[in-house]
């Protein structure tokens, strides 16, 4: 029997990987649990949806990553955690139950539909690789159907793409659709006029990118309009019915065959047995300055699912990759040296968003810039953040090819067949 403490990490995203890279494997047995057997790169999900990248180029097999020097000795368990028993210190997936001495929850967030009826089943989303693929399929399907449709009302509905939510993801997918409308439709769909395609971006507040500077908001609005995106501010959606009718709280309506939802996120949820953790708005777990979950013993949370309040961030640190990476690193250092532990302080390195070719906005601490140089900066930061040299090379090659040709071999409607009925019934 090992005398090491056993750490179980739920989630292999930015926070989870940052933690297991830094934790001392000589003192702890580490197991990471995830419902996917790969690590993916969420900032580029919109490029999968808009046919700019293939899914494999922003995904990396977990078992291969765990063979690297920094992660050697970490074990991986495939499964989705459904229950956390804080009394017996166990977690349960659909396949097994695991014991932990220390639990690190890095499960991230999922879509928040704000209790709008039937929205989950009817809209496209961008919170996972599979959701991005589904969105890509829906976009291409509507274009293919419109190319052979003669009824003007149905054709107009098929060619209307509505994006709800003007945050970075919403701005980026709307910009990508605007580029398709401006540069791709006429070449690849000759029976469709670009003027027939409508890309509408609706935002509930008075400006886009409300977590960034006002200069970034203004630049993003200007660039989206240059890409013929219809931006509508102060528009909060109330419903989306079976007739593809979007209704806003002010009474306005839009008929849109495709609705892409980027308007909100909420923390992943678990069934807790024993001591229930303290939660804040959006389902986030309240943590102290050492990322320990309030009301529990031996449980920590990092990344988007954690809410760490500080004077600079009274409502919790922003739900960004940099926060997750920094929290994962600091938590590992504190567990490695508990007698020298230090509280977590978020070092804000800035934020950025891209709108399209040669168009992006970047906010650093005291500097804002946009345009071509911001776009190059955005590309560089995202490229070096990808795992694996192959992935970096493939993404760079795709970007270079698309930049000069606007051509893509990825405009494919790929639908998986259903799994064998017995595949989910096998148990150990």
Q: What is the pLDDT of residue 419?
A: 60
Task: Count the neighbouring beta carbons within 10 Å of the beta carbon of residue 47.
Answer: 26
Q: What mean pLDDT do residues 28-54 have?
A: 94
Cβ atoms of residues 35 and 60 within 8 Å: no
98 domain-assigned: yes
Q: What is the pTM of this model?
A: 0.91
Over the stretch 400-414, which tens digit does the pLDDT of each residue have? 888 887 666 678 888
Burial class for 80, CB neighbours closer than 10 Å (0-12, 13-18, 19+): middle
Q: How confident is the model at residue 276 (pLDDT cuts 50, 70, 90)?
A: confident
Domain assignment of residue 299, given as a range: 5-35+79-111+266-336
209 domain-assigned: yes
Over the stretch 307-359, which tens digit does the pLDDT of each residue have? 998 888 888 899 999 999 999 999 999 999 999 999 999 998 889 999 988 99
* 281 plus 191 within the same structural domain: no
* 203 plus 224 within the same structural domain: yes
* 197 plus 305 within the same structural domain: no
* 211 plus 302 within the same structural domain: no
* 127 plus 223 within the same structural domain: yes
* 245 plus 178 within the same structural domain: yes
Tell me the sheet residues that pair with 322: none
pLDDT at 28 over 50: yes
CATH number at residue 322: 3.50.50.60
CATH number at residue 125: 3.50.50.100
d(CA 59, CA 352): 21
Q: What is the pLDDT of residue 428?
A: 42
In the numeric block, the tokens 């699912």 are attached to 305
189 domain-assigned: yes
pLDDT at 21 over 90: yes
Over the stretch 221-248, which tens digit does the pLDDT of each residue have? 999 999 999 999 999 999 999 999 999 9
42 domain-assigned: no
Q: What mean pLDDT do residues 364-378 have?
A: 92
Residue that finishes a domain, picked among 336, 369, 395: 336
Over the stretch 77-112, which tens digit does the pLDDT of each residue have? 999 999 999 999 999 999 999 999 999 999 999 999
Residue that finishes a domain, picked among 311, 336, 361: 336
Dihedrals phi, psi of 319, to nearest 5 degrees = -85, 75
Q: What is the pLDDT of residue 338?
A: 93
* 226 plus 159 within the same structural domain: yes
Mean model confidence pLDDT for the chain = 91
Q: What mean pLDDT do residues 114-133 have?
A: 91
280 domain-assigned: yes
63 domain-assigned: no
Domains held by the chain: number: 2
* 155 plus 102 within the same structural domain: no
């Amino acid at each position: 029997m090992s005398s090491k403490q056993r750490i179980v990490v739920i989630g292999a995203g930015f926070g989870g990987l940052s933690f297991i890279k830094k934790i001392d494997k000589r003192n702890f047995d580490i197991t990471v649990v995830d419902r996917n057997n790969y690590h993916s790169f969420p900032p580029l999900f919109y490029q999968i949806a808009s046919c700019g990248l293939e899914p494999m180029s922003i995904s990396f097999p977990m078992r291969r990553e765990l063979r690297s020097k920094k992660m050697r000795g970490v074990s991986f368990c495939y499964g989705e955690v459904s229950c956390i028993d804080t009394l017996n210190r166990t977690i349960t997936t659909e396949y097994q139950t695991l014991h932990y001495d220390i639990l690190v929850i890095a499960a991230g967030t999922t879509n928040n539909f704000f209790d709008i009826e039937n929205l989950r089943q009817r809209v496209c989303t961008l919170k996972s690789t599979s959701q991005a693929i589904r969105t890509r399929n829906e976009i291409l399907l509507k274009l293919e159907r419109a190319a052979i449709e003669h009824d003007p009302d149905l054709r107009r509905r098929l060619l209307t793409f509505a994006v709800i939510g003007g945050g970075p993801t919403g701005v980026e997918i709307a910009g990508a659709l605007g580029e398709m409308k401006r540069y791709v439709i006429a070449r690849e769909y000759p029976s469709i006029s670009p003027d027939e395609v409508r890309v509408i971006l609706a935002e509930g507040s008075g400006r886009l990118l409300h977590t960034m500077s006002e200069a970034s908001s203004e630049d993003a609005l200007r660039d989206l309009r240059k890409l013929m995106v219809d931006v509508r501010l102060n528009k909060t959606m109330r419903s989306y019915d079976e007739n593809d009718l979007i209704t806003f709280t002010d009474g306005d309506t839009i008929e849109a065959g495709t609705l892409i939802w980027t308007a909100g996120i909420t923390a992943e949820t678990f069934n807790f047995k024993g001591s229930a953790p303290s939660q804040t708005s959006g389902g986030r777990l309240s943590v102290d300055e050492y990322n320990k979950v309030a009301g529990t013993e031996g449980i920590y949370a990092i990344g988007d699912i954690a809410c760490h309040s500080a004077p600079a961030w009274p409502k919790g640190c922003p739900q960004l990759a940099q926060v997750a990476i920094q929290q994962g690193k600091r938590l590992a250092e504190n567990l490695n040296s508990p007698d020298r532990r230090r509280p977590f302080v978020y070092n804000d390195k800035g934020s950025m968003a891209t709108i399209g070719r040669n168009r992006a906005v970047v906010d650093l601490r005291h500097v804002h810039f946009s345009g071509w140089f911001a776009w190059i900066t955005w590309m560089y930061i995202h490229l070096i953040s990808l795992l694996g040299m192959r992935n970096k090379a493939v993404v760079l090659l795709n970007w270079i090819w698309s930049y000069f040709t606007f051509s893509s071999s990825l405009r494919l409607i790929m639908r998986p067949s259903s799994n064998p009925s017995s595949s989910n019934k096998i148990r150990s």
